[in-house]
Amino acid sequence: AIERTLSIIKPDAVAKNVIGKIISRFETNGLKIVEAKMLTLSRELAEGFYAEHKGRPFFEDLVKFMTSGPVVVQVLEGENAIAKNRELMGATNPQEAAEGTIRADFADTIDANAVHGSDSPTSAEREVNYFFGG
């Protein structure tokens, strides 16, 4: 089915000047950018976005990192967009990401892991609405 999913190009990838290379991966793999914006997340916006991770040991570092510089937030649309985007990103930990994936090619650590992508239809709906709702 045609789905929509939320993608974030994180501060490490923006700082590395690889926004275009990452977006190119989406486009050449059949995903269309249907919404996009560049912004620096406030603590409040980052904490709300990652609310499900509140209380996890990595939460504070995650929020610090995600507010450390500009990000590009976009909605990707296409056939099986949610799973397709996760396949293109590779594993959360770049050390475990398959060859040729975005994280294998552009990420350094589990926090500075280049991209975020929604992990299910439920989170995709919430996350798209969080940044582009109303």
By CB under 6 A, residue 92 contacts ligand CMP: yes
**114 with 107: CB under 8 angstroms?**
yes
Rounded to whole angstroms, the Cα distance separating 128 from 49 reads 10
Q: What is the DSSP string of 72-128?
A: EEEEEEEETHHHHHHHHH--SSGGGPPTTSHHHHH--SSSS-SEEE--SHHHHHHHH
Residues in contact with ligand CMP, shown as a per-residue x/- string from 100 to 119 under the rule CB under 6 A: ----------xx-x--x---
Residues in contact with ligand CMP, shown as a per-residue x/- string from 49 to 88 under the rule CB under 6 A: ----x----x---x--------------------------
By CB under 6 A, residue 4 contacts ligand CMP: no
- Residues involved in catalysis: 116
Positions in the binding site for ligand CMP (CB under 6 A): 53, 58, 62, 92, 110-111, 113, 116
